[in-house]
Chain A
Amino acid sequence: MSVVWNFPLFTVVFSLFSGVLCMMLSPRAARNYTIAYESVLIVMVGCVLRCTYVTGEAFTYPMGEFPAPWGNEIRAGTLEALIAFLFLVIMLCSIIGGYHFLRQDIDESKQNLYFTLLNLMTAALMAITWTNDVFTGYVFLEILTLTSCGVLIVREIGRTTLAAVRYMILNLLGSGLFLLGLVLLYDISGHLLMVPMRESLAQLAEDPAAIPAISLSVGILTIGLGIKSGMFPFHFWMPDTYGWATPTSASVLSSLVSKAYVFLLFKIYIRAIGLEVLQKTPLLHLLMAVGILGMIIGSVSALRASTINQMVAFSSAAQVGYIYMGIGLGTAAGFAAAMFQILAHALTKSLLFLTTPYLAEVSGDSLKFSALQGSGHRDHLAGVYFTIGALSMIGIPIFAGFSAKLMFSQAAVLSSRPSRTTMVLLVMSALAVSSLLNGVYFVRTLIRIYSGQDEDSGKDAKGKGRSRYGYVGAGLVLIAGNIFLGLFSWMIADLIYQGLWMFT
């Protein structure tokens, strides 16, 4: 325990240092170094996960000699360790799996800077996962915002620059609102540390007159993080951001960055505001409403998309809707389902975003559906990977997507809140409609990539004669994780429940 106790600190400081170091290295050395050190981090976080699971207790780690309300503090429980572990695995898989395109898309002299950004992003993801202090969350959220714009513009074509500008404007708006909400909450409660803030707010909330102030502050904070993570009315930046970035960036942005914002929001809700206070405000209902709307409208937009990446990106909007719906249920089962959905979606989406460029590569570098006709035959491996990802998104048993949907339905049925019947009806029908729409657009795409074998062999000449071990390996890891989540969902659910129990 005594050594493992220090690991969360090491993951953050080590990543920050690695970021600065990669600036000094050659592109190749930066890549090798990043892969090596991410692997070390995975082992470290794995130790933390095992340790918290075995002891059944979360631990807090003071940053320096000053105790918590005065100094900073980080905290590690089972849920944090699980999420951090998954983030690191996906980060590593994205780097290895997308390296081929990374070399094509990024100028040689800037490749090491790209790894710098990825390492700083890892530091921010780790800090946001471990933080026990809302302001520390904000500081590292800023790093996350800047690095995510950086990994977008690195491709240096008009579309990514435009997408990055738009993404940055929205993200800064989100950061601003988040900060405003935070300041207002600090003003009311006098604390930035999560648990004292919760106690202070619980005391205030006994007086019904204080509820509007609390709900508005939390609401502003929620909208801020909602914009950043692609909550329903603010999901329109997704297709461009994810659709044009280099595959590693698309995978990292959709699976990690937006999930980190959701996780931070969830952590603030549970640890800094408290469920009792939240249930006195209308926020959970609102969150559920935007979640359900996002599920439906995201899927409808995906149906209308003209390129495969836009479709996958809009389906992200729908999947983020699932997460918000789960949080909106306001029960432990709902939260567990939402956390499970974060894991399942992150694993699936990164696989899809790493795969679509390979399909495009054998189709004359076009992501349009019309060009992709028969691409599954031209690149068998990418076809298989895409099929697996699509099946998981639709929710076919043995894949993670199915278990997530199952957990959402269970959560709705098990809910003991007053308006239970309506809620069950609402959640079930939303799940049904959304799954159906998922099915329609993913099956349509599958039919397209496997129909009309096109004998134009000139199209795939470019992809021949280079090794794809990295992509094959990364894909296999992601698929293995996906199937593990699907088959052994009870194991993961067990971890999540333990983590949730430690949260309060």
Chain B
Amino acid sequence: MKNRFLDWLYKDQDLLSGITDVVEKPDISRSELKEIMRSAEEEYDNRPEVREAIGRDRDRFRSLYMIVALVSCIALTLVLLYTVGLTSNYGMENPRTLEVVRRYVEDGLQETGAVNIVSGMILDYRAFDTLGESHVLFTALICVMILLRIDSKNQRTEYEDYYKVQTDSYFDLSSDPILRLICAVIIPCILLYGIYILLNGQNSPGGGFSGGAVLGAGMILFSAAFGFDTVDRFFTLRVSNIITFVSLAFYSFAKGYVFFMGANGLDAHIPKGTPGAIFSGGLILPLDVAVGCVVGCTMFGFYSLFRRGNIGGRV
């Protein structure tokens, strides 16, 4: 084990090269494929030098690893608990501690026009952090796309496709009349609820991140009940890209404009509206909608990429 690990660490041969190549052969059954992969691993393990090393080191290395992991986890836990214990003595007696919080709570409504102070904080006071945060999500989507979207380098074999079609039709729920009926009733409600959360971010708990998550969940349920083909009719990779692009570009420009005007002492001419009304809180509503769109697309994108290696139809 250890030697195999060291082998991987220091040699310039791809550890998986012998194993993953096998997958590219089409037209073999699942059990045969498993057999080939197993024998490739066995072949590696059976090399005399490897076998000797494994026999010698496996148990020792594993138990050592376990002990070290356990000890370091316990040590870290104790250190953290100890530190938290120490910090409880400070903070409250420091008059400057509450300086920041007080203004958020006391003047938040007046200054941002948002009844929901959290929305006012993340989208107005500390909007720069949230600008970064919404791009974190986008970055995650791009990483998953790179990892899972099917291309010439990580193609699924015909066999895998066949296997997938088989399992999909076995587990496919779209032919289930009960599910379809129930979903036809509740999916509009879920989507409506998501839109409600999205639009009321400035007035009640909610906002872009939570509303978008509900919308994304509704889409996932929709594709599970009615099949990907139905979703592909209106939600392709291109549509997803355009929605994400427009939302994030709007976000960057709107916030860039506000930062620029605010820093230069100019009036941004964004009305705050009447607190409590839908159109209040200045930019908070449009930004919430933008964030919600990105979150929804990302959620559904993750599901679709994990399930079939693409957003929208075949590449």
Chain A residues within 8 Å of B, Cβ to Cβ: 2, 5-6, 9-10, 13, 16-17, 19-21, 23-24, 61-66, 69-72, 74, 107-110, 113-114, 116-117, 120, 123-124, 127, 135-136, 139-140, 142-143, 146-147, 149-150, 153-154, 156-159, 161-162, 180, 184, 187-192, 196, 199-200, 203-204, 209-210, 212-213, 216-217, 220, 239-240, 243, 304-307, 310, 366-368
Contacts and interface: CB of A to CB of B under 8 A. Distances in A.
A120 B139 contact: yes
A367 B91 contact: no
Contacts of B153: 107, 156
B87 A139 contact: no
Nearest to A139: B132
Interface in B115-166: 124-129, 131-133, 135-136, 138-140, 142-143, 145-147, 149, 151-154
A297 to B, nearest CB: 15
B182 interface: no
Interface stretch (B4-12, B38-46, B223-231): B4-12
B143 to A, nearest CB: 4
A123 B14 contact: no
Contacts of A189: 94, 97
- Among A70, A161, A180, A189, which residue has the most Cβ atoms of chain B within 10 A? A70
Interface string B79-100: 1101110110111001011111
B9 A240 contact: yes
B269 to A, nearest CB: 12
Nearest to A63: B128
B142 A188 contact: no
A150 B146 contact: yes
Contact of B16 (A17, A159, A213): A159
29 contacts: A2-B264, A16-B248, A17-B256, A19-B135, A20-B245, A24-B241, A63-B263, A64-B127, A64-B128, A64-B262, A66-B125, A108-B151, A113-B146, A120-B138, A123-B135, A147-B143, A150-B143, A153-B143, A158-B14, A162-B16, A184-B87, A188-B90, A190-B100, A191-B96, A196-B96, A200-B96, A204-B94, A220-B83, A307-B12
Contacts of A220: 79-80, 83
Contact of A107 (B11, B80, B135, B151): B151
A240 B83 CA distance: 34
Going nearest first, the 6 A-B pairs with the smallest beta carbon separation are A190-B97, A158-B16, A65-B262, A72-B128, A213-B86, A139-B132
B133 A139 contact: yes
B303 interface: no
B248 A310 contact: no
B244 interface: yes
B263 A61 contact: yes
Interface string B271-315: 000000000000000000000000000000000000000000001
Nearest to B268: A65
Contact of B147 (A16, A153, A217): A153
Most chain A CB within a 10 A radius of its CB, from B11, B14, B252: B252
B91 A188 contact: yes
- Mostly helix, strand, loop or mixed at chain A's interface? helix
Contacts of B15: 158-159, 162
A21 B86 CA distance: 48
B108 to A, nearest CB: 10
Contact of A62 (B82, B132, B262): B262
B139 to A, nearest CB: 4
A305 B20 CA distance: 26
A368 B12 contact: yes
Interface string B244-256: 1100110011011
Nearest to B261: A65
B146 A120 contact: no
Interface in B194-217: none
Contact of A6 (B100, B146, B248, B263): B263
A239 B133 CA distance: 30
B65 interface: no
B260 A9 contact: yes
A109 B138 contact: no
B103 interface: yes
B146 A212 contact: no
Nearest to B130: A139
A348 B84 CA distance: 42
Given A9-B263, A140-B132, A217-B83, A107 B256 contact: no
Contact of A63 (B20, B136, B259): B259
B24 interface: no
Contacts of B125: 64, 66, 70-71
Contacts of A243: 12
B82 A146 contact: no
Nearest to B12: A307
A24 B128 contact: no
Given A6-B263, A16-B135, 7 more contacts: A9-B263, A64-B258, A158-B16, A159-B15, A161-B147, A304-B10, A310-B10
Nearest to A141: B132
B17 interface: yes
Contacts of B235: none
A187 B91 contact: yes
